[in-house]
Structure 1
Amino acid sequence: MHDHRKLGRELELFDTDPLIGAGLPYWLPDGATVRHALEEYVREAERRAGYRHVASPVLGKRELYEISGHWEHYSADMFPPMELGGEQVVLRPSLCPHHAVIYRSRSRSYRELPLRMAELGGMYRSELSGVLGGLTRVRAINLNDAHLFCTPEQVVDEVLGALGMIDRAYAALGISAARHRLSLPGPEQPSAATPDSWRRSTELLVSALDRAGIRYEAARGEAAFYGPKIDVQIADAAGRESTLSTVQIDYHQPERFDLTYVGADGARHRPVMVHRSIIGSVERAVAHLIEVHGGAFPGWLAPVQLAVLPLTDAESGPAEAVVERCLERGLRAEVLGPERGTLGARVRLARRVPYQAVIGAREAAAGDLALRLRDGRRIEARPVDEVIDRLAARIAARDGALWDAGE
């Protein structure tokens, strides 16, 4: 494994500056490309799974977090309130209070449930300077968050659905979990939930884990203040473990925000709130991807997916034409021309790019493209449009394979 803090800067993916502040990295073009590809994958996966996307402010009145319980149990990790028009507003430490308010914005029927509400939004944690580092511990977080509002009978299926999405995302990203952890309250851990809701939530999570056939380890003192959770743990280059993905059951906030739905019996009932994050924070996800792949990202995530290398200046025109066709098909391609050095130097420069195409006089005259794959394989010359079609299909598959053996 590589250290993402060192490699991420060498590859010009992200950096920091004292004028912006500690724990506030900025994304450079290639890093932003990886980030955006990751966000697009998540949003598409959520749409296909029946999620509806919302957008909410990064600020909220202090009262909002007093109702949710964050102010009582989490204020030490929040930024201080700001005075605004005689009111105190706070940078949010979590998206769930906003989503609870969106849920209660109108009356809900049992026919709408489960209601899957997703947002890739910003949140802020007042981390101490001593624990900040790279992309893994930051103060401004972009979280792939979602809240599923459902009936008690739907909870286990919703947890199973979230666990399945996590599995599929990890396969597409080419990463694996170090372990699954059932995070439970500790004897000294402050809790906002009642003993009965803790018991019910834990039983439901265990049922989902058992039905999914997932081995897990219970850990006391790692729960959220409002309920237990399933944490999907990853390990960094130094072997340090952290949580990437999570699924949580919450009876507390529906009660605090007085969330209801009208049941088939015409009476009002309390929904259960399932919190889930498929890839966790974008920052931590990209940090892990850098370390696992050494900057050689899966094809669909790579900042540049095809590097086109004209042999001489005479082939620069056809090379540019290939890149233009790629861009029209949604592929990320660029020309590495002779001004960047010898052919060998350019091949080495593009060693992390999934696909390379060298265009000489023969390929230019025939309108063909021969590929070199990052893993060392070579694909014989074929018409340009055919190669681009195959590349587009292969990248759209998001399965990690650079090329099918039968192609």
Structure 2
Amino acid sequence: MAIDHRRLGRELDVFDSDPLIGAGLPFWLPEGAAARHEVEAYVRDLERRAGYRHVYSPALGKQELYELSGHWAHFAGDMFPPLHLGGGDDALMLRPSLCPHHALVFRSRQRSYRDLPLRIAELGTMYRAERSGVLGGLARVRSISLNDGHVFCAAEQAGAEVAGALRLLRQAHEALGLRASSYRLSLRGDGGKYAGDDESWERAERLLREALDEAAVPYAVAAGEAAFYGPKIDVQVADPAGRESTLSTVQVDFHQPARFGLAYSDASGGRSRPVLVHRSLVGSFERLFAHLLEIHAGAFPVWFSPVQIAVLPVGSAQLPAAEGFARDAVAAGLRAEVCADGTVGARIRDAARRRIPYAAVIGDREEPRGAVALRLRDGRQLPARPGAEAIAMVAGLVAARSPGLLPPDVSGT
């Protein structure tokens, strides 16, 4: 039977929902929030090391903003209706995208060619008025937490920035245990839902094709799947049942820089228009975790497992030692908790059911020596070892973001 993240996510206390909040608006429970926090921190650090600077922007904007960006003309059917407050003339809207706000970040200061490429990123919330019939768990929601980024660059820099975004998203996918099932070059289709002129679209398409060819990845062409402002590369992933969905994207946009009047001082002293490269390394955190739950069957890699060590005292006499070991593990940056209720066997089974990577058992043989016996969630066991050594081993795996439960030089039985 195929793994369903909706069932598994609720069983593992990752997320839930409530009719009083509404359909398509799940909330993250402590277990899910802990895992998400680790992934957020990793992605943010990855972006920082790649030259991105992070910003915060509000999830509301005037209707005028989205008229300027083109969203109101081309995307209004997917937006929530305007909010009219206090009888004023200004209508506020929940944003359907972060790019208009980031265009204003660029426009807020004088920019020079020396500032380019300007790479900005944000984990921001946006809203889509999805129909209730298509909503489901974390995979299709109305409130979307997007790992978004925008690169404002000179025309001659755009190709390198697209290629760099592809390399960066592949690095993020590897750390998370993701595998792209296919790459798709999404182009314009028929109809009037696209903005901009033919020349700009052709330039953007050429940049994306060249980046895909440089990356040596096979791709399919999909007419009619482009964003309204430009073509895009869609990185597809498949669930255990083989169903594909888009997780990550890279897009080239000549339209919005022109709409917002963006410009920078070029080397000749004149004014030039930047090119805008949109990219999302891991997509929305809702869709990302829906996929992670299914491909890992809830057994996340150690580094972002919600609880990394369950500490199990055999009896009440070992409780102080268990609490001390858990404190040491937490002080070392790990997520550990003491589980003292019920039989040891039941607690070991419950830790495995919760997909906790390690159960650290402390009995009358381990307690006098300050040792723990580690039992892995896959059933393997390690001989008793000093608590500090066990903590160092797990912390090392976390720091390396290892996909395995043991270092190469350690084997369990």
Instruction: Please classify the TM superposition score into its range, dividing by the shorter chain length.
Output: over 0.9
Q: Which residue of structure 2 aligns with residue 205 of structure 1?
A: 208
Asked whether 1:41 is paired with 2:19, we answer: no
Superposition CA RMSD, Å: 1.2
Worse-superposed segment, 368-377 or 146-155? 368-377
Q: Tell me: CA distance 1:336–1:227, structure 2 relative to 1, closer, same or farther (3 Å).
A: same
Following superposition, the deviation at residue 255 of structure 1 comes to 0.5
Give 1:238 shift: 4.3
Describe how 1:2-401 pairs up with structure 2 within 5 A.
Answer: 2-84=3-85, 85-188=88-191, 190-337=193-340, 339=341, 341-351=342-352, 352-401=355-404
What is the Cα deviation at residue 236 of structure 1? Answer: 2.9
SS in 1 for 2:383: strand
**Per-residue deviation, 1:399:** 3.1
Q: Are the structure 2 counterparts of residues 290 and 354 from structure 1 closer, same or farther at C-alpha, using a change threshold of 3 Å?
A: same
Aligned pair in 2 of structure 1 residues 21, 314: CA closer, same or farther (>3 Å)? Answer: same
8 A contact 1:171–1:399 mirrored in 2: no
Conserved 8 A contact 1:189-1:221: no
Amino acid at match of 1:105: S
For 1:279 and 1:86, the matched residues in 2 are separated by 38
Of stretches 364-373 and 294-303 in structure 1, the one that deviates more from structure 2 is 364-373
TM-score by length of 1: 0.97
Separation in 2 of the partners of 1:382 and 1:151?
57
Task: Tell me if structure 1 keeps the 8 A contact 2:182–2:237.
Answer: yes
Q: Show CA shifts across 1:284-321 (max 9, x none).
A: 00100111111111111111011111111111111111
Superposed CA offset, 1:212-261 (max 9, x none): 11111110000000000000112234433211100000000000001111
In structure 2, what is the Cα distance between the partners aligned to 1:193 and 1:401? Answer: 48
Indicate the larger mover: 235-244 or 14-23. Answer: 235-244
In the TM superposition, what is the alpha-carbon distance from 1:270 to its structure 2 partner?
0.7
Q: What amino acid sits opposite 2:332 in the alignment?
A: R
Q: Aligned pairs, how many?
A: 405
- Aligned-residue offset at 1:189: 5.3
* Aligned partner letter, 2:403: G
* 323-332 or 373-382, larger mean C-alpha shift: 373-382
The answer on whether the counterparts of 2:302 and 2:402 sit within 8 Å (CA) in structure 1 is no
- Give the CA deviation at 1:394: 1.0
Are the aligned partners of 2:397 and 2:406 in contact in 1 as well (CA < 8 Å)?
Answer: yes
How far off is 1:379 after superposition?
A: 3.0
User: Per-residue displacement from partner, 1:343-364 (whole Å, max 9, x unpaired)?
Assistant: 1111111111112211112211
Output the CA distance in 1 between the equivalents of 2:7 and 2:385: 39
Secondary structure at the counterpart of residue 6 of structure 1: helix
Contact 2:126 2:143 in 1 (8 A): yes
What TM-score do you get using the length of structure 2 for normalisation? 0.96
- Partner secondary structure for residue 89 of structure 1: strand
Amino acid across the alignment from 1:174: G
Instruction: After superposition, give the CA deviation of every residue in 1:41-87 in whole Å (9 maximum; x if it has no partner).
Output: 11111111111000000000011001100000000100000113321
* Unmatched tracts of structure 2, length 5 or more: none
CA distance in 2, matches of 1:145, 1:33: 21
CA distance in 2 between counterparts of 1:151 and 1:363 reads 63
- Take 1:160 and 1:401, find their aligned partners in 2: how far apart are those partners? 30
One-letter amino acid matched to 2:191: E
Q: 1:146 and 1:240 mapped to 2: Cα distance?
A: 27
Q: State the distance in 1 between where 2:119 and 2:18 align.
A: 38
Amino acid in the other structure paired with 1:177: A
